[in-house]
Amino acid sequence: MLTALAIRDVVLIEALDLEFGPGLGTLTGETGAGKSILLDALGLALGVRADSGLVRNGADQAVVTASFDLPADHPAHILLAENGLDGEPGEPLVIRRIVKADGGSRAAINGQPAPAATLRELGAMLIEIHGQHDDRGLLNPRGHRALLDAFGRIDTRPAADAFRTWRDAQTALVTAREDLDAAARDREWLDHAVAELDAFAPEPGEEATLAGERSDMQKGAKLAEDLTAVGAHLDGSEGAFAQLRQAARRLDRIGAEHPLLADALAALDRAIIEAGEAEDRLAAAGNALSFDPARLETVEARLFDLRALARKHRVEPDGLAALRDELSARLNRIEAGEGGIAALEKQAAAARATYAAAAEALTTARTAAAARLDAAVAGELTPLKLDAARFKTVVDAQDEGGWSAAGRDRVEFEISTNPGAPFASLMKIASGGELSRFILALKVALAEEGGAATMIFDEIDRGVGGAVASAIGERLSRLAKKAQLLVVTHSPQVAARGDSHWLIAKSHDGLVTRTGVRPLDSDERREEIARMLSGAEITQEARAQAARLLEVV
């Protein structure tokens, strides 16, 4: 619901702050008072294309701020979240639009910059504006199917689920056919590649293992002479190890003669132990770095062949095993042949049949709902002085190219305004007054499911009076029980139906002309309705008639 509208420097409006409540709000005033300026200002907040001509003469910029209270389940919350904009359920939604006099504009939603496209999408969720030349909302055939589904409380989820299943089955079939065709073209190469990889039998991690072993053996070849020389120094009767033991035995015989000799003997024992460990580690190193020319040749040949095979297939050496599995799978698909394709074709056909049945059920439900909607709209036409007109909801099943998750139907509202005249799209109606009343009839018929929480009707009563104007007022009042309505009207019968009433008027101070809007109390409201009844000179009879109109409602 629209709760507040603040306007600064828009055409003739210098500064205006309005607050709105639920129900039916009416806006009246003399012709040329500036009602269209008010709607233009609101349009800016809803994402209408910015026009620097709307900036008041002498001002640098025009600013419009609109505030809304939305229920927690309003789809606007989802849109805000998808666009990374703050907006908590229960908190006011504030839209601000600035238009500069030298061109350009910017917008903010809850204080955060937002592109005009997001503003337009959000505005369409918040307010519907119905006027004589409006080409959105009910006039747009693209939205008629959803409106009919809402009216008929039609559940489209089974068809949507069936459509996704069918689409997935078709995708799997197309992919399998493409894979089979591509694989069949490469059959000879695949046979050779798989045989080659099977014969070579590459293993993951094999390159690192072979490279490490090759490196160790190459080091062993280089270090073999040094290791042998070191071993000769340690081993044998003349080696360092034997000399240490002999020295220790001699020292052991005389060690008791002096404490320092005992210390020297302990040191020699430690040296013998360390030398033994060194001897063991040299032996282990020798084994690790053992050099076998035949083994080195084998390892190098395997390593070089592995790398060459990887280059041939343009993969890393560790990817050869996975490549073998992939190519084998492609061969298996070829060998499975038409059997696998036939199974997928059967699945796709079954999924299509399931979707077709769900879509047929939707068509049946929509056809029944269309008949109920046609009857409901027909019941609204005669009181609105459209008794010669006829309305119908066209439900056409499309060919397969037009099928979607929403079913196979094209839905469009059509009318015939004169007996014998062919039915045509709502957008082709010539008379603006007829169009406005048709929109009202439709909105009343659809009221149980509704649309945006706020609706604005711009001069829906143009060109009618008396009983028709009363019927329009009664239907607007009924519709306002389901949503917030703001109506720009010239009809006293409609104005009297309002739960609240604002007067739009121009004022002059000799230099500047301004447009203002102010709420009317009960006395002022009666006087304004009397003016609408009598014209320039308000008579007592007009005041009495205004009072009677207000009493009726």
CA distances from 224 to 277, 280, 287, 291 (A): 20, 16, 11, 8
Q: Which residues contact 407 (CB under 8 A, 6 or more apart)?
A: 145, 156, 159, 358, 359, 362, 363, 366
User: Edge-to-edge strand order for the sheet containing 2-10?
Assistant: 13-19, 2-10, 61-68, 93-100, 105-109, 112-114
Q: Which residues pair with 47 in a beta bridge?
A: none
Out of 236-240, 280-284, 362-366, 457-461, least confident range: 236-240
Any idea what the Cα angle at residue 55 is, between residues 53 and 56, rounded to 5°? Answer: 115
In this structure, what token pair is assigned to residue 9?
């420097």
pLDDT tens across 529-553, in order? 999 888 778 888 988 988 988 886 5
pLDDT (mean) for 331-337 = 72
| Cα–Cα distance measured from residue 386 to residue 468, given in angstroms and rounded to the nearest whole number | 10
Q: Which of 142-151, 214-223, 346-355 has the lowest mean pLDDT?
A: 214-223
Percent share of the chain, pLDDT over 90 = 33
Q: Which of 443, 472, 456 is nearest to 385 (CA)?
A: 472
Q: What is the pLDDT of residues 118-147, one digit of tens each?
A: 998 888 888 888 765 454 557 778 888 988
pLDDT digits (tens, 9 = 90+) for 409-447: 999 999 888 888 888 887 776 466 677 778 888 888 886
CA-based nearest residue to 129, from 480, 502, 470, 460: 460
167 burial type by CB count under 10 A (0-12 exposed, 13-18 middle, 19+ buried): middle
pTM score over 0.75: no
- State residue 135's pLDDT score: 44
Joined together, the tokens standing for residue 108 give 């903010």
Q: What dihedral do alpha carbons 317, 318, 323, 329 form, nearest 10°?
A: 150
**Mean pLDDT comparison of 132-136, 178-182, 226-230, 333-337, highest-scoring range:** 178-182
Distance CA 389, CA 372 (A): 17
